[in-house]
Structure 1
């Protein structure tokens, strides 16, 4: 099981990857939305804002998110690290129930480019 610091580093790496992206991936990442990533096995939630192609104001809090974010991810710590590290395919993890993504319909359509 990955720890909270490894999860934070994975989310920071994801932010870095999004900021370096180009083309349709970059366009999809340029949303301005609140974001939460619930880590079930650690019972904590990271929150931030997806803005200008990166994750900003990343914060960590114990338990479930205090407020409903526009884009909500739920997964285990190991799955987060594996996804960002390229060892786990998002579509397969989502289809298999290992990762949950919740967002508005328009955001889901736009985010599919990232998946």
Structure 2
């Protein structure tokens, strides 16, 4: 099972990947939205913002998200690490329910290029 620090590190690598992306991926990551990532097996939530093509984690707290972020992710720590390492396909994991992504309709349309 991935640790809290491994999950924080994976979010940092995901942020770096988004910042270095080109084309449609860079455009989709250019949103300015509040973000939460609930790690179900650890029962912790990372909160912050997706802004300027980067994920900026502002806080970590126990339990599910306290407030409804504009973009909400939920998954296990192992799935987060595997996704960032390229070992887990996001689109397949999302369609099978392993990873949950919730956002407004317009945001989902923009984020689809990340899938």
TM-score by length of 1: 0.97
Structure-2 separation of matches of 1:92 and 1:22: 22
Structure-2 separation of matches of 1:10 and 1:58: 15
Q: C-alpha deviations, 1:34-56, integer Å up to 9, x for none?
A: 00000000000001100000012
Partner of 2:98: 98
Listed as ranges, the gaps of 5+ residues in structure 1 are none
Give 3-state SS (helix, strand or coil) of 2:114's partner: coil
Q: C-alpha deviations, 1:55-90, integer Å up to 9, x for none?
A: 124321111111000000000000000011100001
Taking a change above 3 Å as real, the CA distance of residues 96 and 69 of structure 1, as seen in their structure-2 partners, is same
What is the CA-CA distance between 1:97 and the residue it aligns to? 1.0
Partner of 1:23: 23
Partner of 1:49: 49
Q: Residue 69 in 1 paired to residue 69 in 2?
A: yes
Considering only aligned residues, what root-mean-square deviation do their CA atoms show, in Å? 0.7
Query: Could you list the runs of 4 or more consecutive aligned residues of structure 1 that deviate by over 3 angstroms after TM superposition?
Result: none
Partner of 1:114: 114
Q: C-alpha deviations, 1:3-40, integer Å up to 9, x for none?
A: 00000000000000111111111000000000000000
